[in-house]
Amino acid sequence: KAGVTQTPRYLIKTRGQQVTLSCSPISGHRSVSWYQQTPGQGLQFLFEYFSETQRNKGNFPGRFSGRQFSNSRSEMNVSTLELGDSALYLCASSLGQDNKDTQYFGPGTRLTVL
């Protein structure tokens, strides 16, 4: 079974621009969670989608948004990029029917904002 895929793997943007990252979950998984990881920090939860609905949201500004499509693929968007948005963005998929379902992570998209 194919794992979680994320595209692109690397991205360089400048301040003020916007960016869209994509995540394809494992087949059959309906939950997709997004995390931001910065050096020396743990993962910070952005949001979680299940069946095209945002089910949970972390403490990030409104510049960070996401959506999920009917095939469970998810995108996250960051508008008006700031230097501090440079990070590894990880998505994780799970069955989503029980909070004990294992989350499987993709390799991440490394975003650099100049």
Partner 1 sequence: GQQLNQSPQSMFIQEGEDVSMNCTSSSIFNTWLWYKQEPGEGPVLLIALYKAGELTSNGRLTAQFGITRKDSFLNISASIPSDVGIYFCAGDMDSNYQLIWGAGTKLIIKP
For position 100 contacting partner 1 by CB under 8 A, the verdict is: yes
Binding part of the chain for partner 1, among 11-19, 68-76, 77-85, 97-105 by CB under 8 A, reads 97-105
For position 32 contacting partner 1 by CB under 8 A, the verdict is: no
Site for partner 1 in 60-79 (CB under 8 A): none
Give the one residue of 42, 53, 62, 70 binding partner 1; rule: CB under 8 A.
42
d(CA 31, CA 34): 10
Residue 14 tokens read as 């400048």
For position 33 contacting partner 1 by CB under 8 A, the verdict is: yes
With respect to partner 1, which residue has the nearer C-beta, 78 or 92?
A: 92
For position 21 contacting partner 1 by CB under 8 A, the verdict is: no
Q: What is the DSSP string of the chain?
A: ----EEE-SEEEE-TT--EEEEEEPPTT--EEEEEEE-TT--EEEEEEEETTEEEEE-S--TTEEEEE-TTS-EEEEE-S--GGG-EEEEEEEE--SSTTSPPEE---EEEEE-
For position 103 contacting partner 1 by CB under 8 A, the verdict is: yes
- Interface residues with partner 1 (CB under 8 A) are 4, 31, 33, 35, 40-45, 48, 50, 55-56, 58-59, 90, 92, 94, 96, 99-100, 102-108
